[in-house]
Structure 1
Amino acid sequence: MPDLRTTAARRADGARTPSTRGGAGTTVLAVLVTGALAACSSDDEGLDTTPGGQVAYACALAEQIGDEHPAPEDWGTAIGADAEPGAVAASALAALLGGATGFAHPDHPELAEPAADIVRSVQRMDLAGIEDGLTGVRAACVDVDGTPPEDLGQAGQVAYACDLARHVTDERGEVSTWGGVAEDPAWTETMAAAALVGAFTGGPVPGAEDLGDASADVVAGVSRADAEQVQAGLEDLVGSCPS
């Protein structure tokens, strides 16, 4: 898994937006319009992919890991096709909270640091670090409101990934119009969709085999700041999701 945190930090420090192979820059008007749409969007027919819904979902995953999965120190492996489901869920909730992009949710910035700790720990196979990060997320989630969906298992995570990817394509505009990785939530949402189907842990997870290549392309594209690859991977991800 690429060092996405480092990539995000470098891009944020340089205040640059990812380039496309054609050299297209950021369109300020498009960023403003897509940001306004995202701020008022909700998924009436599916799962709650609004910013508040994403945070509530991440917090519910953190609790579910503690309640229904072995402690990280007892995981067989956190990386690979046989990765512990708790490891997939941990990387996914961390991605939702900006741990892979340096993004901090405006209403819950306190969740960003423990989320980043989880991402770093998954990369290093540091099981104690993952547990510490999860403990930090749970503590910071005390003040988070919202009702997550009932199915927090891997099938439910795949469903949420697909709805989140659709939300990005419907509400966030073309990737080439997005702002900086650490500032624009579209990057975080896209990375979270990929993580939910196992892209951070060498997936895909069971039931998401058709989404494996697309989610891997998304992660690779973000790590390279390649807007065209992210766009193609995101479109493939949505196209491969159950209708």
Structure 2
Amino acid sequence: MKNPLDKKIILAANPWLKDVKILEQSVSTQIDAKSDGQANTLYMSEKQTGIYGRFGREYFASPEGGIYMTLLLKPMDSLESLPNYTLLAAAAVVSAIENLTSKKTEIKWVNDLYLNGKKIVGILAEAQVQADRSLQVALGIGINFYIQKFPEELTHKAGSLFTEKPSITRSELVAEIWSEFYRLSNRDFFSFYKSRSLVLGKKVEFEENKTLYRGKAMDLTPDGKLIVQLEDGQHKLLSSGEISLKKWT
């Protein structure tokens, strides 16, 4: 593969990382990270065969031109006091892209990044309580970096950060993402996340218990729930672990 992932570039920009492990092929870096369990370690793969997203949904992984990675964390705080890693990661990716390119991406609540109306990034955070009661968080990010061809059924909704020769390498973007992740973890990433929202202020549709609801996305709670004002004036709090938006205009 041209411009293979470079461990040295990533680690040089992120001294807080203990290691970067890169495989030529993997079923899923989420599985790799959770199985290996090394804290502050980034697991990456050039190719993935079984990548998945929220609710176990299949995620398209291109044989070339993608970034597939999972950061394994073992935070000392309680589960209730952890930052919202999904929001933090989304803010970090947007910030990194803005720092390195002229492209402006937006965040579709809660874990997808869009460019020119098409999804280019998916994020998945999975927290587990281990047998010794310690916490383990696997934070996965999949990025369509330079993908020139998608399956026909995805061409209308899947996009790529670059459609022509990239101005940066994948390793440079990865290095910047985790540098921003570390920086923003000690700052107000929530306000940054909201400022890049694709859905706030827009009409949205979602399904709950087989009932379709329509309303306006008004705001986010600090823990990442979406506040929607329904057509009848009532407000609903949407949890990202239970509901996915079907439409936004």
TM-score (normalizing by structure 1): 0.25
Higher relative helix content:
1
RCO comparison, higher one (Cα < 8 Å, 6+): 1
- Higher normalized strand content (fraction of residues): 2
Question: TM-score with structure 2 length normalisation?
Answer: 0.24
Indicate the structure (1 or 2) with the bigger Cα radius of gyration.
Answer: 2
